[in-house]
Structure 1
């Protein structure tokens, strides 16, 4: 019984001692945000292909603005799979300027589109994820033609 009481007291003491511990705010691993830094603001976070036919135009444009006070540098942009390929601008986007990102989707596939594009930059809001959506209808099969043998047509 004394052992049990000792263990309970030791446990309570440990929790009490641990709850008084404070985190040193200077040891935070997050980098401070520059209030004058760049900010990337997309016109929309959805790249919508709509309902299209198989093999049609595979490109859409995602437009964004640097609403911050310093140049915006996009470091990487990547699709969630090989069928979604974004092309980011190579040059910095100055404060107040607009930029365009070309998004290609493999329209030889069919069915519902539900993918993402991840954009990483030096912006205060850091990483932005865009959704790529739409629907690709299968091409209608062309009716097979009867072979032309060059001879007379029977039954006429």
Structure 2
């Protein structure tokens, strides 16, 4: 009986360890298994009202296959994303450029959703900053 309890305890311990390892190696967002962004949030700092700013969200293809960015869409019309249209080969870099019109005074927090071909879940990127008069 003692051996049975010890082997049951050992199996539970092993199962828990394997489960914990699988949780740490699985990306939270499936896009993370395809591309790795250098920064997911970029603060453009301070800018003047109606003085547009532009930032680049650079990424690397970390998969073993070419990656295609299908779309990048913004949370409002004041932010215009453009992106690398051609397939990005494994190990190569691409970018999402976010242009912001700065047409509203105050603290800004804009979201860009990136759709990677073959992945159902979008990746969120954030553009923050301060627009002053």
Q: TM-score over 0.5 for the alignment?
A: yes
Q: Which has the bigger relative contact order, CA under 8 A and spacing at least 6? A: 2
- Paired with 1:50 and 1:111, the residues of 2 have a C-alpha distance of 12
Segments of 5+ residues of structure 2 without an aligned counterpart are 1-32
CA distance in 1, matches of 2:117, 2:63: 11
- The match for 1:108 is 103
User: Residue 84 and residue 41 in structure 1: after superposition, are their counterparts in 2 closer, same or farther (change >3 A)?
Assistant: same
Q: Which consecutive residues of structure 1, in runs of 5 or more, have no partner in the other structure?
A: 1-37, 139-156
Moved over 6 A (4+): none
Conserved? CA contact 1:40–1:123, under 8 Å? no
Larger Cα-atom Rg: 1
2:78/2:103 contact within 8 Å kept: no
Contact residue 61 and residue 100 of structure 1 kept, 8 A = yes
Q: Corresponding residue for 2:68?
A: 73
2:82 counterpart residue number:
87
RMSD: 1.8
Whether the aligned pair in 2 keeps the contact of 1:86 and 1:103 (CA below 8 Å) is yes
Structure 1 residue aligned with 2:53:
58
Greater share of strand residues, 1 or 2? 2
TM-score (norm 2): 0.69
